[in-house]
Structure 1
Amino acid sequence: MSLFGWADSAPEQTARPAFRDSPEARRMLDVREVYAEPAALDSPRGRQIMARLPGVRVTEVESHWRIPALHGNDGNIGRWVRIKTDTLVLGEKHTLRTRPNGRSADWIAPGPSNGCAMACAYCYVPRRKGYANPITLFTNIEAIVAHIRRHVRAQGPKTEPNQCDPEAWVYDIGENGDCSVDALVCDNTADLVVAFRGLPTAKASFATKFVNPDLLALDPQGRTRVRFSLMPHQDARLLDIRTSSIDERIAAAADFLDAGYEVHFNLSPVVLRPGWQEDWADLLTRLDDVLPARVKRQAAAEIIMLTHNQALHEVNLGWHPRAEEVLWQPAAQETKRSQNGAVNVRYSLDIKREALTRMRQLLATHAPWLRIRYAF
Structure 2
Amino acid sequence: MSLLEVATIHAEPASLASLRGQEVLARFPDAEVVEIASHWAIPDLHGDEENVARWVRVKAEHLVLGEKKSLTVRPNGRSADFIAPSTANGCAMACAYCYVPRRKGYANPITVFTNIDAIQRTIARHLGRQGRKPEANQCDPVDWVYDLGENSDCSVDARVSDNVADLVAQFARLDGAKASFATKHVNRDLLALDPRGGTRVRFSLMPRRDAKLLDIRTSSIDERIAAVDDFVAAGYEVHLNFSPVVLRERWQSEWALLLDELGDRLSERAKAQAACEVILLTHHEGLHEVNLGWHPQAEDVLWRPEAQEAKRTEHGGAVVRYRVDVKRRAVARFRELVARHAPWLTIRYAF
Could you give the per-residue CA deviations for residues 74-128 of structure 1, whole angstroms, max 9, x where no partner exists? 0000000000000000000011011100000000010110000000000000000
| 1:87 equivalenced with 2:72 (yes/no) | no
Q: Deviation of residue 340 (structure 1)? A: 2.5
Measured in 2, the distance between the counterparts of 1:56 and 1:48 equals 13
Q: Deviation of residue 55 (structure 1)? A: 3.0
Measured in 2, the distance between the counterparts of 1:52 and 1:288 equals 40
Which residue in the other structure is 2:146 paired with?
171
Which residue in the other structure is 1:37 paired with?
12
Which residue in the other structure is 1:343 paired with?
318
- Aligned-partner residue type, residue 285 of structure 2: Q
Which residue in the other structure is 1:11 paired with?
none
What secondary structure sits across from 1:280 in the alignment?
helix
Which of the numbers 86, 92, 104 marks the counterpart of 1:129? 104
- Aligned-partner residue type, residue 357 of structure 1: A
Gaps of 5+ in 2: none
Q: Deviation of residue 197 (structure 1)? A: 1.1
Which residue in the other structure is 1:208 paired with?
183
Q: Give the CA RMSD over aligned residues.
A: 0.7
Which of the numbers 221, 232, 246 marks the counterpart of 1:246? 221
Q: How does 1:144-163 map to 2 (within 5 A)?
A: 144-163=119-138
Gaps of 5+ in 1: 1-25
- Aligned-partner residue type, residue 184 of structure 2: K
Q: Deviation of residue 73 (structure 1)? A: 0.6
What secondary structure sits across from 1:54 in the alignment?
coil
Q: How does 1:169-248 map to 2 (within 5 A)?
A: 169-248=144-223
Which residue in the other structure is 1:56 paired with?
31
What secondary structure sits across from 2:161 in the alignment?
coil
Q: Deviation of residue 189 (structure 1)? A: 0.2
Measured in 1, the distance between the counterparts of 2:49 and 2:31 equals 24
- Aligned-partner residue type, residue 288 of structure 2: H
Measured in 2, the distance between the counterparts of 1:219 and 1:88 equals 28
Share of identical aligned residues, percent? Answer: 66
Equivalent residues, number: 351
What secondary structure sits across from 1:331 in the alignment?
coil
Q: Deviation of residue 339 (structure 1)? A: 2.3
Which residue in the other structure is 2:92 paired with?
117
What secondary structure sits across from 1:27 in the alignment?
coil
Q: Deviation of residue 61 (structure 1)? A: 0.5
> TM-score with structure 1 length normalisation?
0.93
Measured in 1, the distance between the counterparts of 2:268 and 2:343 equals 13
Measured in 1, the distance between the counterparts of 2:193 and 2:181 equals 15
**Structure 1 runs (4+) greater than 2 angstroms displaced:** none
Could you give the per-residue CA deviations for residues 186-210 of structure 1, whole angstroms, max 9, x where no partner exists? 1000000001111111000000000
Measured in 1, the distance between the counterparts of 2:129 and 2:245 equals 37
Measured in 2, the distance between the counterparts of 1:52 and 1:61 equals 20
What secondary structure sits across from 2:319 in the alignment?
strand
Which of the numbers 285, 294, 317 marks the counterpart of 1:310? 285
Segment drifting more, 229-238 vs 48-57? 48-57
Which residue in the other structure is 1:289 paired with?
264
Q: Deviation of residue 336 (structure 1)? A: 1.1
Could you give the per-residue CA deviations for residues 172-199 of structure 1, whole angstroms, max 9, x where no partner exists? 0100000000111110000000011111
> TM-score with structure 2 length normalisation?
0.99
